[in-house]
Amino acid sequence: MDDFLTLIVTIFVVVSLYWQYHTYTNTNSLLYRIKQLEEKLTEQQAKLLKFLNKNSSANESAEIDDNKNEIGDLSCEIKREPKSTSSSYQPKTSTFINKTEEIQNKVENKEPPVYQQAQVSRETTFDKVSPKEQPPIADTSISKALNVEDPHTNKSTFSKQEPKPYQPKISTSRFAHRYQNEPKNTPNEISPTPLPENSVNVARANQSGAQTDNLGTTIAQARPASQYRPALNPRPKRQQKSILGLIWNWVVTGNPLAKIGMLLLFFGLSYLLKYSIENELVSASTRLMMAGTGCLVLLGLGWWLRKKNLMYALILQGGGIGGLYITIFAATKIYDFIPIGIALAIMVFICIVSVILAVLHRAISLAVLASLGGYLAPVLLSTGSGNYIALFSYYLILSIGILIISHWQVWRLLNLIGFIFTFGIGFIWAIPNYAHTDYLPCQIFLIANWLIFGVATELSTLKNKLRLNISFDATLLFGTPLIGFIFQHRLASEWEYGVAIASSLYGLAYFALSWFVLKRYREEGKLLAIAFFMLSATFATLAVPFAFSAEWTSMVWAIEGVMILAFSVLQQQKKPAIAGTILVAISFVLLFNMRVISLSDWLMFITQMIVVFAVAILWYRAKFINIDNRTIGYVTLFIAAVSWGYCVFTLQEYSEYWFSPSAKAITFAFILISCWGMYFIGKKTQFSELASCSVLLWPMSALIMLVYIFLAGSLINNWFSAIVWIAIFASGFYLLKVNTLLPTQRLNKALIHVMHLVFIGLFLFTEIIWLMDTTYLYVSLHFASVIFSISLYIAISIILVTRVSWIKAYLNTYLVITVPVLALLALSLIFANMNNGTESGVKFIPLFNLMDLMGIVGIWVGYKFISVMKQSPKYQQLLQNNFPLYNYIIPAVIFWWANGILLRGLAFTTDIDWTMYEIINSKVIQTVLAIIWAIVAVVTMMMATRQKSRSSWFIGGGLLAVVIAKLFFIDTSLSSGLLRALAFIGVAILILFIGYFSPLPPKKQNQKTKA
């Protein structure tokens, strides 16, 4: 665990140091020059302002000449400033330009306009103050503003001119100022010649007419500077050399004797150090101090000689860096003088120093020697301890250093050295020493090195390809994934599908890389994207035999064959189409001989059948010349039909597998995928009949659900089936919309909606049957679930016909299907109200329990559905003709359920058994019922009087009569004589009260007159 944490810390430190160095090189390298330039600009501005305040013309003339020379030197220095590669760098000359324009406007006695700073050309200032590079200048230049004459004449050098209106200069690019306001060509001036490809554009500009100033001088139009840029000769493409050629070229170039001598010195010192260790001639601390001192001396001597003899200095620096690697490694692994964490940090520092030196000197020799010394250090000083984590962590640091170098310099030989050492040493170690317990560290090292040599190096090459005109390294591009997969096979072979998963991940990774390269580098990255895609297809193909049996392999071949056929039909290629068909036929014959003894086998065979159907459709719609396409399509269709019949017979023979839980979810997933496939294929090929078949998703699923209704099984029994059903509902709704709005739909659209409503009802009914079978002890839960499912079905219908615009046209269809369900809801409420509600498996709370809440929800949903029915002209007339249905039955159901809620709450709080005898003989229940009924009756009658509704008044009166009868025959029979008398008096007063405040409304008089 400590080694693993050390590895993580190492990677983090390397990335952090690399980022800090990258940031430093992009910012601090120009700070000193920019600061110095700003100081010079400030000094020159002060001199110019001082010059304007003087009154002596003679002194002014001399100072103008001095300032011209100084400003010219300054502009030359600015122009010599190197161009930064950073996109955010801008030379700080804008301040000087703005001050110069302010001086010009001050001389002309006018204020600068608002848009001056935005439109003034920066190059104009440089051209006016640099006599050697002075192009033709405009009338608004500084020279004319100050009237600067030839310094060798005796004329006045300063004269005030009349102010002119300010005319902003137009600068289309940083070269455009050279061609603005240019006069006609003279023998001493050569006009720029546009490039041949832009000559037509120049001619058109000349024909359109040029602008003229007040004096008639022709002023040329501002033209893009790209027309005058000389054509750059592209660099010749470099020839990619072989590995041996690169090594030989490195040896023979520069100072080969110094290189060989340094290598021999390195080996000699290594063996001398090893001999001294074995014979204990010198103490360990002394040896390490001497080695470290010698390496630092070599490094310092190489740095001192870098200007006198660069090649020799680079060799010394490389040897010193390699020696430091060996010293740190020996001090850590052999003598344990340095903790491994500190040692890794020091090695990271050495790696960064070597990177900086190699990049600064642009010396591949230094980088090669440093990397060779680093890679050979653990090999030469190996003690056989077997600490592979420290070894490969060390190698990973070196590989990261090589990657950092490739950010500035793409050195193929350096990359190959790192690749060969990393995978070579790893291969030597893995054959005899790898164990299953080493999986995680080895996997991390393998992925890291694959990212470095197989991905990052190629992306770095792609980034520098146009600038350096280099090609991709095929050895790293294809060698890294193939050798890495060999290692991955060894790591993943411990699991059953480990190799297949690894191959699939490789394919997926390279597919993602292909997409990224093609999106980021659209033009220059096509070749690399194609290479990555080829690797992706290769690894995806390799995953099939590792993951599947021979039967599944034949299935993959069948799918591959139909894909070849489809592509050939699109390209009108007959021979590939025939080859793809033959491949499908071979795979079908191999699979046809297999015994279908499980659900997976049946699904395999039905997939093969779908492939054959696809082949038939492709041949039927193909347009090959000199071949009877439709005949081949008919023959293939006949074979597909026979295959479908065989599937039906095998399904009947092995029906026990059909009822397994896995078969259920897989079957519905298969239906879902098939319907989406029919939709997309039909839409893509403009085959509307095939696309219309996708609407059978819900109906076909409903047919399968009929089996599970009789088996009392749930359709959702695991997470996979839940995902499938969510997808089925969402997909079915979308496909229903598509087929409803499809103008060429031949099926009856109302019938399609009916089938979908039946599907929803079957789904809910199937789940209710399963729930009742599972919770057979909880009767109250059964009633609550039934009411909830029916209410949910009605609510779904209401939402569809009121909220979905494309379903509103089928309002009558939805109402026809839902009205019987509403009647079923009323019956459920009537029978469910006879239950006490406590047998639900949860704690009973009056009013807030499953039974009561579901009843309230059901009544509210029924009321909303009746409101929706009123929106239909057909059913509105039906409700008017059947007035009692709405005015009597629904209130009666509400009153019935409210009494059930009251009785359940009273029975629970008073601890009375839920039996007819106990409820009738309970004084508390009877008293509360009498009070509640009387209040309801009074309220109903008063509202009826206000609304002048005789029918409602009679309903309230009937309820009051029931209360009085109950009081006389039930309540008073349980009481004494006094209580009975008081009851009569109370009822009489109540009736008088009602008669006064709520009399019977009069009958409605007939307003019609006799004819």
What is the predicted pLDDT for the residue at 85? 42
Cα atoms in the 13 Å half-sphere on the side-chain side of 175: 9
Alpha-carbon gap, residue 196 to 194, rounded angstroms: 6
* Residue 427 DSSP SS3: helix
What type of residue is 112? P
Residue 625 · residue 638 · CB < 8 Å: no
Residue 905 pLDDT > 70: yes
- Integer CA distances (angstroms), 661 to 599, 666, 714, 715, in order: 10, 9, 10, 9
What is the predicted pLDDT for the residue at 619? 75
Residue 368 pLDDT > 80: no
Residue 220 pLDDT > 50: no
Alpha-carbon gap, residue 955 to 938, rounded angstroms: 11
Q: In 80-138, where does DSSP find H-type helix?
A: 94-107, 116-119, 122-129
Q: Which two tokens stand for residue 460?
A: 């770095």
More confident residue, 151 or 857: 857
Cα atoms in the 13 Å half-sphere on the side-chain side of 271: 5
User: pLDDT band at 186, cuts 50/70/90?
Assistant: very low
**Cβ atoms within 10 A of the Cβ of 973, count?**
9
DSSP letter (8 states) at residue 969: I
- Integer CA distances (angstroms), 418 to 323, 370, 428, in order: 18, 11, 15
The DSSP annotation for 415-467 comes to HHHHHHHHHHHHHHHHHHH--GGGHHHHHHHHHHHHIIIIIIHHHHHHHTHHH
What is the predicted pLDDT for the residue at 676? 83
Alpha-carbon gap, residue 836 to 50, rounded angstroms: 105
* Residue range 475-498, pLDDT digits in tens: 788 888 888 888 888 888 778 778
Q: What is the largest CA-CA distance in the chain?
A: 145
User: pLDDT band at 231, cuts 50/70/90?
Assistant: very low
* Residue 411 DSSP SS3: coil
| Max avg pLDDT among 45-54, 183-192, 217-226, 661-670 | 45-54
User: pLDDT band at 409, cuts 50/70/90?
Assistant: confident
What is the predicted pLDDT for the residue at 629? 66
What is the predicted pLDDT for the residue at 160? 44
Please, what is the end-to-end C-alpha distance for the chain in angstroms?
108
Alpha-carbon gap, residue 394 to 332, rounded angstroms: 12
The DSSP annotation for 861-918 comes to HHHHHHHHHTTSHHHHHHHHHTHHIIIIIHHHHHHHHHHHHHHHHHHHHTT--SSHHH
Cα atoms in the 13 Å half-sphere on the side-chain side of 74: 25
Residue 710 pLDDT > 60: yes
Task: Kindly report each contact of residues 651-654 with a partner whose C-beta sits within 8 Å and lies 24 or more positions away, as own/partner.
Answer: 651/602, 654/596, 654/597, 654/598, 654/602
* Residue range 909-923, pLDDT digits in tens: 888 888 877 887 777
More confident residue, 178 or 531: 531
- Integer CA distances (angstroms), 19 to 12, 16, 22, 404, 409, in order: 11, 5, 5, 10, 17
Percent with pLDDT over 70 in the chain:
55
Q: What is the mean pLDDT of residues 380-409?
A: 75
What is the predicted pLDDT for the residue at 322? 75
Pick from 638, 816, 177, 232: nearest CA to 466: 232
What type of residue is 780? S
Backbone angles phi, psi at 147, to 5 degrees: 55, 55
- Integer CA distances (angstroms), 135 to 68, 129, 175, 614, 871, in order: 16, 11, 11, 74, 85
Alpha-carbon gap, residue 795 to 799, rounded angstroms: 6
Cα of 468 vs its chain's centroid, Å: 33
**Cβ atoms within 10 A of the Cβ of 253, count?**
12
Residue 239 pLDDT > 80: no
Residue 991 pLDDT > 50: yes
* Residue 296 DSSP SS3: helix
More confident residue, 519 or 686: 519
All residues at 6 or more sequence positions from 519 whose CB lies less than 8 Å from its CB, including other chains = none
What is the predicted pLDDT for the residue at 532? 86
Residue 81 pLDDT > 50: no
User: pLDDT band at 708, cuts 50/70/90?
Assistant: low
* Residue 211 DSSP SS3: strand
Cα atoms in the 13 Å half-sphere on the side-chain side of 32: 2
User: pLDDT band at 250, cuts 50/70/90?
Assistant: low
- Integer CA distances (angstroms), 354 to 29, 381, 582, 796, in order: 19, 22, 61, 71
Ramachandran quadrant class, 1000 (left: phi over 0; alpha: psi -120 to 50; beta: rest): beta
All residues at 6 or more sequence positions from 168 whose CB lies less than 8 Å from its CB, including other chains = 113, 115, 116, 119, 120
**Cβ atoms within 10 A of the Cβ of 397, count?**
21
Ramachandran quadrant class, 444 (left: phi over 0; alpha: psi -120 to 50; beta: rest): alpha
Residue 773 pLDDT > 80: no
Residue 47 · residue 96 · CB < 8 Å: no
Residue 146 pLDDT > 70: no
Residue 102 pLDDT > 50: yes
What is the predicted pLDDT for the residue at 984? 62
Residue 192 pLDDT > 80: no
Residue 636 · residue 582 · CB < 8 Å: no
Q: What is the mean pLDDT of residues 142-150?
A: 41
More confident residue, 33 or 154: 33
Alpha-carbon gap, residue 559 to 580, rounded angstroms: 9
Percent with pLDDT over 90 in the chain:
0
What is the predicted pLDDT for the residue at 66? 55
Alpha-carbon gap, residue 422 to 447, rounded angstroms: 12
User: pLDDT band at 550, cuts 50/70/90?
Assistant: low
Cα of 864 vs its chain's centroid, Å: 43
Mean pLDDT, the chain, integer? 68
What type of residue is 499? V
Q: What is the chain's length? A: 1011
User: To 10 degrees, the CA torsion angle through 545, 548, 552, 558?
Assistant: -40
- CA angle at residue 797 from 795 to 803, to 5 degrees? 90
* Residue range 425-478, pLDDT digits in tens: 888 888 778 877 788 888 888 888 888 888 887 887 787 766 666 667 777 888
User: pLDDT band at 181, cuts 50/70/90?
Assistant: very low
Alpha-carbon gap, residue 379 to 372, rounded angstroms: 11
Residue 855 pLDDT > 80: yes
**Cβ atoms within 10 A of the Cβ of 538, count?**
18
Question: 3-state DSSP helix/strand/coil percent for the chain, to nearest 5?
Answer: 75, 0, 25
Residue 339 · residue 1 · CB < 8 Å: no
User: pLDDT band at 70, cuts 50/70/90?
Assistant: low
All residues at 6 or more sequence positions from 797 whose CB lies less than 8 Å from its CB, including other chains = 757, 814, 817, 818, 821, 865
Pick from 821, 847, 940, 845: nearest CA to 892: 940
DSSP letter (8 states) at residue 239: P
Alpha-carbon gap, residue 794 to 829, rounded angstroms: 14
